[in-house]
Amino acid sequence: MKQELETIQADALSAIEAASDQKILDEARVAFLGKKGRLTAASAAMKDLPNEEKPAYGQALNVARQAITAAIESKLAALQEEADKKSVEGIDVTLPARELLEGGLHPLTLVKDRAIQILRRMGFALAEGPEIETEYHCFDALNTPDDHPARNEKDTFYFDSGKLLRTHTSSVQIRTMEKATPPVRIIAPGSAYRRDEIDATHLSVFNQLEGLFVAEDVKLGDLKGTLEYFFRAMFGNETEVRFRPHFFPFTEPSFEIDVKLHVKGQKPKWIEVAGCGMVDPAVFSSLAESRGDDLFDPEKVTGFAFGMGLDRLAMIQWGIKDIRLLIENDTRFLKQFA
């Protein structure tokens, strides 16, 4: 029996040495060490030996197995080394290296990150909510009347279930206040969807950033100071900011915000960048009713909200004249920001 093991070991070592590639080497491994291999079969035969012969036979089995295994590992390393050498044959190592292209952040990402950075320094926390919304969170809770144009199917993407793609991230403000305890100071960046015709200044999906601050004795001056600081931090300390009276269902009073744009060779002009206002008491009353407590009672708290389009901020920041450039993935355009 011991002589048989020596024969198996010699045959295995010979087959391993003759293997010219990894496939043939693996076939040799299976032939000797596999479940039906010769050494495996010899190992199974040990049960039929007398007890006094089993220790010596077992030791011989281990010697053979270790020798075969070591030979396979050595041959595998040699074959790999040979393959590596062949893979670099003919390569001229004196040639200059190929240029490694570096990626960069998309302009919308750059603007969003910058806006979040500024507002986080002012104490605002990030909040998020679903993009598929209910009419309650998108309209009813925000004091939007039933006949408001935004609720029309011509303006908003509805599902058969009655849910819709959110038209603004204001719904995140409602969802936050449903669970939070005042004071609340949050910003909600994210996508919004409207049935706008796509042109140089409109897309059917765009990026918004909205903010909300609710506490005791929040005043209009707090709103103006916050946004004036934000836009000057975003566009430069000399940026001129103005507030124009406007109407939004969920704020009262409400304003649109303009910044004066200075383009070389052109006359300075005012550009609308955001909407804002003091949270309408009706929003707080509706919220208090749905919560079943008085934490957001309009007699106890006040607040302000604001919203801006990140796409528009990017267009102003870099003088982009067509919003469609932000979604076309043209590397000739995007590499300017890398």
CA distance 135 to 254: 22
Q: Is 272 annotated as a binding residue?
A: no
> Is residue 329 left, alpha or beta, with left meaning phi > 0 and alpha meaning psi from -120 to 50?
left
Residue with tokens 């005042």: 182
Cα 68 from Cα 28, distance rounded (Å): 10
Q: Which long-range contacts (CB under 8 A, 24 or more apart) does 40-49 make?
A: 42/1, 42/4, 42/5, 42/8, 45/1, 49/1
> Could you give the CA distance from residue 166 to residue 142 in angstroms, rounded to a whole number?
13
Written as six digits, the tokens of 324 are 């469609």
Please report how the helices 54-87 and 22-33 are oriented relative to each other, as an axis angle in degrees rounded to 10. Answer: 170
Binding residues: 252
Binding residues for Mg(2+): 252
